[in-house]
Amino acid sequence: MPTKTALVTGASSGIGEATALKLRELGFTVYGAARRTDRLQSLAERDIRPLTMDVTDEDSLRAGVDRIVTDTGRIDALINIAGYGSYGALEDVPMDEARRQFEVNVFGALRLTQLVLPHMRAQRAGTIVNITSMGGKIYTPLGGWYHGTKFALEALSDCLRLEAKPFGIDVVVIEPGGIATEWGAIAADKLEEASGSGPYEAQAKAVASSLRSEANASRNSPPSVIADAIGKAVTARRPKTRYATGFGAKPLISLRRVLPDRAFDTVISRAVRLPR
């Protein structure tokens, strides 16, 4: 049996870095992709193959996939992790930023998927793993554009799962909860930039404080929790369609499922200490 090959986007830190290392540990030939390969140096030293890739740039996506197929002749797992959180009131966030959020979190992942699918179909096997979030099932104030991308990626993954099944390709969604990465700080910075003054200022202060909260940070799960779930998904004969894992993911998704909308509104508003 040839060695299986995996492509991991967003590999320069956090969940992407942990996933690249986990898949290498499981015996995959792993290509770790990021916009800046200088941030992949530590992975290169651990037998991960660095790949320059910007998920919003068509040429870099094509070049990356072509290089992997030329080098190894196959792609067995695509792990779409690259993404970021851009918070701010729906009214305040400039449309250019809203579009960029979708370009990175949704269209980049799906364009890369389009490029990989012909190779997986030819193999009659493969696994595509899309990292959404518990934020693809729940919602928070001032996170509308971000949640929109994750809800969209959930729906697209479900459709793709049905389309790809006849070709022996599995499609898996990973729904992280709170994870100890730079994500919260970046989202808080974006929030203050967009809505730190003006009519949403009080809400922005509350939500930014929650995103940066040391108490929340101390409860967040390490990125390895998500890497382990991805490892299970790509090695299982019949993987689950979804893996909800990490701090708060399962209970919050369950609450959303059973509570009426306004009751869940109250739970979330209190959780982030939203002013009344």
Determine which of 126-130, 143-147, 169-173, 209-213 has the lowest per-residue pLDDT on average.
Answer: 209-213
User: What mean pLDDT do residues 169-195 have?
Assistant: 94
Cα separation of 212 and 221, whole Å?
15
| 3-state class (DSSP) for residue 75 | coil
What value does the mean pLDDT of the chain take?
A: 95
Closest among 159, 1, 14 to 85, alpha carbons compared: 14
Q: Are 272 and 248 in contact (CB under 8 A)?
A: no
Tell me how many degrees the CA angle 64-6-238 measures, rounded to the nearest 5: 140
Tell me how many degrees the CA angle 175-132-102 measures, rounded to the nearest 5: 165
DSSP lists the bridge partners of residue 244 as 175
How confident is the model over 36-88, as pLDDT tens digits? 888 899 999 999 999 999 999 999 999 999 999 999 999 999 999 999 999 99
DSSP string, 253-269: HHHHHHS-HHHHHHHHH
| 3-state class (DSSP) for residue 204 | helix
Residues making up the chain, counted from first to last: 276
Classify the C-alpha dihedral 55-161-124-4 as positive or negative.
positive
How confident is the model over 111-129, as pLDDT tens digits? 999 999 999 999 999 999 9
User: What mean pLDDT do residues 212-224 have?
Assistant: 84
Tell me the pLDDT band of 170, cut-offs 50, 70 and 90: very high
pLDDT of residue 3: 92
Query: For residue 29, what are the CA distances in angstroms to 112, 124, 147?
Result: 18, 19, 33
Tell me the pLDDT band of 1, cut-offs 50, 70 and 90: low
Q: Assess whether 87 carries a catalytic annotation.
A: no
Cα separation of 92 and 148, whole Å?
16
Say what the pTM is: 0.95
Which position among 31, 139, 146, 243 bears the catalytic label? 146
Highest mean pLDDT among 25-39, 150-164, 184-198: 150-164
Q: Dihedral angle at the C-alpha atoms of 51, 224, 232, 114, nearest 10 degrees?
A: -30
Is the pLDDT reported for residue 215 higher than 80? Answer: no
